[in-house]
Amino acid sequence: MTMYERLNGKQLEVKYGTGAHYRMTYLSENELKWEALSEVAEGEATTGTEPYWAYEVAEGIYHIDWIEQDGMTAAQTVDFNKLQATAFLTWSDESERGGRGKILMHGTITVIG
């Protein structure tokens, strides 16, 4: 089952331990919409529609990647068995190694709908 098939007509809410909170809607087999439900830093986007790539790692566990319009990259693993998510985000930051800032976040998921 693909990520889209699993969530078609539903939304995924992800709450990370950092306080970040997002709603994800899988619009098709290759396009998702994310919405920030928590505050974001000034000047950062609060929503986006992005092409994505996903595959099922094991039954109920998916790895999803996307690149946002501003260059932020996201690699997210969602485990429907344990209702957990992990995301590794990177963005342009010349002061960091390789010119990329980064954060690793762990959180919980809720399927809405």
pLDDT given at position 20:
97
Joined tokens for residue 103: 């954060």
All structural domains of the chain with their residue ranges: 3-112
Beta-sheet pairing, 21-26 with 84-92: unpaired
Does the pTM surpass 0.95? The reply is no
Q: Which residue has the tokens 């595959």?
A: 55
> CB under 8 Å to 67, separation ≥6 — which residues?
50, 51, 73, 74
pLDDT given at position 41:
87
CA 83 to chain centre: 14
Q: No. of H helices and E strands in the chain? A: 1, 8
pLDDT given at position 43:
86
What is the three-class DSSP state of 74? strand
In order along the chain (113 residues), what is the average pLDDT of each group of 10 residues? 95 97 97 96 92 97 96 97 98 96 98 96
Give me the CATH topology for the region 3-112. Answer: Lipocalin (2.40.128)
